[in-house]
Amino acid sequence: MLRFARKLIQKRVENHLLLSAIPMAGLDFEATYGDNHDILKTLAEEGVDFLLSCEGKVPLLECKGKMICLFFSAHWCRPCRGFIPHLVELYDTLRKRGISLEIIFVSFDREEDGFKEHLKSMPWLAVPFDVNLHRRLIDRYRVDRIPSFVPLCSDDVTVEADLIGCIEDYGANAFPFTKKRHEELKAIDKRKREEANLEELLAQEGCNFLFSGDDRKVPISELAGKTIGLYFSAYWSPPCRSFTRQLTDVYNTLNDAKDSHCFEIVLVSTDRDLKEFNVNRSSMPWLAIPYEDRTRHDLCRIFDIKGIPALVLIGPDGKVISENGKFTVSSYGAEAFPFTESRIRELEATLRKQGEALSQQVEDVKHEHVLKLDMAKAYVCDSCKKQGKFWAFSCDVCNYDLHPSCVEKVEKD
Q: Please select the residue that binds Zn ion; options are 124, 150, 403, 404, rule is CB under 5 A.
A: 403
Beta bridge pairs of residue 72: 106, 148
Q: Does 406 bind Zn ion (CB under 5 A)?
A: yes
Tell me which of 384, 387, 408, 409 binds Zn ion, using CB under 5 A: 384
Using the rule CB under 5 A, which residue among 21, 257, 380, 397 binds Zn ion?
397
Give the span between the Cα atoms of 383 and 408, in whole angstroms: 10
Instruction: Give residues 138-197 in contact with Zn ion (rule: CB under 5 A).
Output: none
Q: 82: closest CA among 146, 127, 144?
A: 146
| Min separation Cβ 406 and Zn ion, Å | 3
In the complex, minimum distance from the CB of residue 335 to Zn ion, in angstroms, rounded to a whole number? 18
Binding mask 327-346 vs Zn ion (x if CB under 5 A, - otherwise)? Answer: --------------------
If residue 50 lies in a helix (H) or strand (E), which one and from where to where? Answer: strand 50-53
Quote the longest CA-to-CA distance of the chain: 107
> What's the min distance (Å) between Cβ of 314 and Zn ion?
35
Q: Can you tell me the distance from the alpha carbon of 333 to that of 89, in angstroms, rounded to the nearest whole number?
A: 42
Say how far apart CA 335 and CA 338 lie, in whole Å.
8
Q: Cβ of residue 202: shortest distance to Zn ion, in angstroms?
A: 42
Closer CB to Zn ion, 302 or 381, in the complex: 381
Q: How many C-beta atoms lie closer than 10 Å to residue 112's C-beta? A: 13
- Quote the CA–CA distance of 85 and 12 in Å, as a whole number: 31
> Binders of Zn ion: how many residues, by CB under 5 A?
10
Euclidean distance between CA atoms 369 and 363, whole angstroms: 7
Q: Cβ of residue 360: shortest distance to Zn ion, in angstroms? A: 17
Phi and psi at residue 376, to the nearest 5°:
-115, 145
> Does residue 51 sit in helix, strand or coil?
strand
The alpha carbon of 34 is separated from its chain's Cα centroid by a whole number of angstroms, namely 34
The answer to whether residue 376 forms part of the interface with Zn ion (CB under 5 A) is: no
**From 137-145, 309-317, 352-360, 377-385, span contacting Zn ion (CB under 5 A):** 377-385
Contacting residue, 100, 179, 383, 389, with Zn ion by CB under 5 A? 383
Strand arrangement of the beta sheet that strand 148-151 belongs to: 56-59, 50-53, 125-126, 101-107, 67-73, 148-151
Closer to Zn ion by CB, 1 or 357: give it. Answer: 357
Residue 392 interacts with Zn ion (CB under 5 A): yes or no: no
293 to each of 204, 224, 290, 397, how far by Cα in Å?
Answer: 8, 21, 5, 52
Stretch that binds Zn ion, among 33-41, 72-80, 111-119, 379-387 (CB under 5 A): 379-387
Q: Which is nearer to Zn ion, 142 or 386 (CB)?
A: 386
* CB closer to Zn ion, 284 vs 395: 395
Q: Is 369 in the site for Zn ion (CB under 5 A)?
A: yes
Binding residue (CB under 5 A) for Zn ion from 103, 137, 395, 407: 395
Query: From CA 176, how far away is CA 151, in angstroms rounded?
Result: 9
Q: Which is nearer to Zn ion, 224 or 397 (CB)?
A: 397
Question: What are the phi and psi torsion angles at 374 (to 5°)?
Answer: -145, 145
What is d(CA 231, CA 132) in angstroms, rounded to the nearest whole number?
A: 51
Options 211, 286, 291, 400; binder of Zn ion; rule CB under 5 A: 400
Considering only the stretches 14-22, 194-202, 301-309, 361-369, report the one whose residues sit in contact with Zn ion under the rule CB under 5 A: 361-369
- Determine, following the binding rule CB under 5 A, whether residue 398 of this chain makes contact with Zn ion: yes
151 in Cβ contact with 67 (< 8 Å):
yes
User: Which of 217, 213, 283, 274 is CA-nearest to residue 245?
Assistant: 283
C-beta closer to Zn ion: residue 157 or 381: 381
CA pair distance 172, 93, nearest whole angstrom: 6
Residue 338: CB minimum distance to Zn ion, A? 28
Minimum distance, C-beta of residue 256 to Zn ion, in the bound complex (Å)? 22
Q: Closer CB to Zn ion, residue 51 or residue 381?
A: 381
Name the residue nearer to Zn ion (CB basis): 145 or 369.
369
381 near Zn ion (CB under 5 A): yes
Give me the residues that bind Zn ion (CB under 5 A), please.
369, 381, 383-384, 395, 397-398, 400, 403, 406
